[in-house]
Structures are given as C-alpha cells and as structure tokens.
Chains A and B, each alone.
Chain A
C-alpha cells in the first residue's frame, strides 16, 4: 500500500475488492483538494457563514479560581452549527462530494452528532442522505434522530452485534459496496481505511489553527497542556494538529473509562489493558478484542466514545509517546459536567466532559501562570435524557410522565 496509508505501523486500507476503484477515486479527489488553496478558502468561508467559525476560546475564570492552578481555557466547538466539531469534517466532505459529482451521502453515527451534521449538510447541498445508527444509540440519543429525520434523512436503526457505533459502521459499508457510484460515505471520525484518517484530521485541523492563534493572543504563550476526549479521535487530532512537536505543550487524550479500567466495561483502547493490535473496519489499530480477534462489547455513558477502535494516527502517537492517554469514568464525567454548568453556565456533551475530568484533576498541580485548553467538542443538550437520568432529576421525571400520558390519549 502507498506509504501515506500508514502512520507508523497503524492504518492501511483493508477494503473489499468491490470498493477498490471507489477508493482510488477518493484518494485522487482528496489529493486535489489538499493541494488546492482555493478549497481551503471555500471551506473557511462556508464555516464562517454557515457555521460559527472561528469558535471562541473562553477563559473559564471561575473554574480556574476554583481549582487554584492553571488558567483553564475552553475551545468552544459546541458553538458550531449543529453543536459539535463534527460539522467541520462534514461540511468539508460535503464540498468534496460536490466536486466528485456524487448525489447521495451515507454516514454512521454514535452520539448522533455526526448524523445530524451530515443530514444538515445533505439538506444544504441537496444530497439524498441515509444515516446508520445502532439501536442502543437511537435509544440514548433520541432527540438527534428526530432532527435527522426532520431534515429529510432516512435513519436506519442497526440491530446487529453490540448495536452501537461499530455496527453502524459495518452497515454503512454494506450500503456503500452496493451504491458506490452515486454515494459517498461521510466517515465521521479519523478512523477507517485510508484516506479517511488523514482526511478527517486535516478537515478538523481548523480547530487547532484557531486555538493556537487565540491562546497566543489571549494568554501570551502556548498552553502547558491540551485536553481532548477520544472516541475515534477526530476532535483531539483536530486541536492537537497545531501543537505537535511543541516541547512546552503536553497533549492529553481522554478515553471513556466507563465503570473503570478493571471493570471490563469501558472503551479505553490506549490507556487500558484490554486492547491489542488488530485489523477491522478497514484499518489496523489497537482494538478492544479477545485473544481470538473477536471484538468486545464496549461501554461508556457517552455514545460518541463507545467504540472498539481508535484513530491509527493516535495509535502512532501513543506508541511514540507524543500524546498521553488517560481515562475518565462515567461517574467522574457526570461530576465534571455538574461543576462546569454551575461554575460557568456551559453544558458540555458527555463526550467532551471526559476531557474536563482530566483537566480538573491536573489543573491544581500547575501554576496560575500556565494555561490549559480543554477542547469542548460539543454541547450537552443532546444528552438531556441521559444527563437527567444520571442526576435522577425528579421534576424532569414528572414532566416525562405527564408528556407520555398526554400522548397516550
């Protein structure tokens, strides 16, 4: 395989023969947009007029004071249109689809953020759109299903396997191997066969470019640490992209610790001890799998981090120790979310709250002259059902019961 498909020993392109030509076409199209400055300009213009770029970098003064250590800055990807960093990748791929002349897009989604972003893009650009989503994720992210359908997308509930993100990816591939002539698969994270890991990180690098300029302007120098949650790896690679190789900035990826790294119920591929090298879903990375190579069931309170694999680019950084990996448990995530809402009036997505957990653990050990950046990959509104349940909120429960009763009439 050509060398750009690999990052160290990770990545590659393990695809069925029927997609061979489709991937050659995609590789050519990607090489074209990468070397065409007009594409990036078009992308920036689109993101600053249709979405809310540049997204602000918020100085969280109350949280900084609360922990008494580093100055905490929050990169506000929640303020993107559709409420998460997913829009960056999706709108970029949308422009690519137009150039390739395809008329239909498909996507997998876990949290539903990538699905909503894709449905939005399809509506704007006039593409047909089908979104694959695991049954478990449909149940926990129902509001996003509603919006996808309202924007004209077909949402297919996937009932195979663990009924989460990986199964949605398999099903999207099954669609693609049938409909590749008209259809582009808008992969949602920096995983999958080449060129997706590189392409998605490249489109997400807009986060890091802005964050670097903003922190230099607001804080006067580079941050001591940057925290980002890691599902497939797209928001973390996006913000890390402008800081790789900086001796003074440590990059920290936070995985889903679920019920704890020793519980067997988590989605920590790089900082846990249950993952091993493997090849699935078109690429080679560290997978949560058993000794036969069968994938394990993963768990996380957040649908978007609940995944067996991780970006091959991050696996390479993990191996070379250029990114440090930590895990946050479900319980810690809810606590960090609670504190952030109370102190700053900001509602992080459950995924993003993982990054907040680790930043809160480490901020006190740093000096008030230091800055840290938390990449807030998305907003928490979509999680209202899950968060309300985690808080066991009585008035919300009453409301749901009354609403349900009204619908039963």
Chain B
C-alpha cells in the first residue's frame, strides 16, 4: 500500500515538467512544421513559395514604387505607381460627395466607433450611456450624411466610394440580424399562416441572385408602397441587401435553434416564462452562440456584395476604381487600383472574422456549453 503511494507520487513528479523539446519556439516548430515526412515536405514547399513571392511583392509595392506624379506617364519606375492615390483618395472614400462637405461622413465614421464598440465588447467603459448613444446614432448619421438640421442637403446619388460600401454594409448587418431571427422563429411557428409566409420569403429570396433582386428592386418594392412614395436608390439597395442577408441568417439561426434540446424549451415553459421571454432569455442566446460562425460568414458575404450597387448606377469603391482604370490619365494601373480596393475589403472582412473567433473563445471561457 505504502509503496504504491510513493510510486504514484514519483510518477507525478516526473510528469511535472514536459520534455524540453515540446515547449518554446523550437518545440513549436518541431511539433507543427516537421512532425512527419509529409508535413516536412509541405513546410519546405511553402517556405520556398513565400521566399520567392514576398520579396518580389515587397519590392513592387514599396521599394521600386513611385508615389507622386501628375498622371501615369510621370511614373517611370519599374514598381507600382501610387501617384493617383494622392489625387483620387477622396473619391475612393467619399465618391462624388461635395468636397467642402466631406467632413460630415468623416465625423459620422468617427462617431461610429463609440456607437458600435459597447455592443461588441461586454463591460466597455461608459457602456450604458454609449448604448443609448448608439440607439440615437442612426439618426445622427443620417442627418450628417443626407443633411437637415441646418446642414445643406446632399442627394444620395452623390454618395459613393468606400463610404457607400460601409453605409450599405452596416445597415444591412444591423437590420438583417433581427429580421433573420424573426424569420427563423416564424419558420418554426405553430401558426401556419406565419410559418408559410416566412418559408415563402426565405425560399424566394434565397432562390434568386442578389444582382437580380437589385435589378428588379425598382419594380418590386413599389408594389408594397403607396403609389406616391418613391424610394431613394440607396434605401432601395439597403432594403434588398438586408432582405437577402436576412434570409440566409434565418437559415443559419434555424440550424442553431434545432441544435437546442427540447429540454431547454420545456424547462423554460415549466417555469412559466412567456414565449417571448423564453426565446429572448433562454433559447436565442444559446442558438445565436452556436450560430456565430454562420452569422459572421453571412455578414462577410453581405459586405462584399455591397459592390453590386454598381448595377443600379451607384459608384462604390469598386465602381470608382473601375472608372479610374478606364480613365486615360491612369489607364493600365489596374493592378495598383484593385490591390488598393482589395485592401479595404480585406481589412473589414478579416476584422469581422477575427472578432467572431475572439467572441467564440471568450464565450467558451464561461465554461463548457453542454446540455
């Protein structure tokens, strides 16, 4: 008996420190890059590719590049020609928004940060007040962008550039989530009328390409409106993009709802919670948590789809890029232009992806989520 005890203690002390080579950077490299022969081959091939591509790309973008000049002819270097940025960055950001008023979208963008962070991060400072502010934010931003309250009015067909992508993308994201939740719940409703309406909406919208929805939006939307109301084209795009994303989100959330065991519904019922409260407090927090990857995936798709506004004559950042590439002064600089545009999308989409990973990991810390 006694010897068995010491044995156990001995084996514990031996295991206290792991073998040296499995920790630190050498340990990491050995474990992740050279753990087996196929793994080693892949590592060598990848390193070879990176070693050939990175220096060339770096040289093109920075070392041999030129960042000033009047037009493409003033760029004489072998690398990238960034001279146009200096002239055109305003258009890339704001489209045809009058230059003297461009401070307005800029302020709206800066105010977006305190409006959005208290919803993304729990226990953000001044969270309560900032959340009140974020509820007022859409009104503030609309006044800043469109005008009113003393500010001169700017017609929305002057909106463009990355600002347009952000406006359509963010409105779509913020609106499509609650609508998607309602559609998902409606699709599981016991009331046949609600259920069939939701199924009809989801399947119709999902069954059509977004580009087609945008094309027909000026025929389709007036059906649901009084005859004397004409919809602004930016509003029309926001509605279509929202409807499109909401249909996808509804299906993602429906998947999450189905994963929740019936015992959770029953426990909520047995406590006497109303349908609304049991969804809000018990079911949806869990269903949304499961659905985070799918929801963010849809949002990323939505954000990239904002480039489709071009089909109804609006110039988002990609539209501006297209216009510039076909401008005689800057023709032939498509690589530079599209790389520049791609960076904008990449930064936004990659941030969303990282945020979702961070959120998932933080929720996991609250303990294993098992039923």
Partners in one complex: no
Instruction: Spell out A's residues near B (CB within 8 Å).
Output: none
Interface residues of B (CB under 8 A from A): none
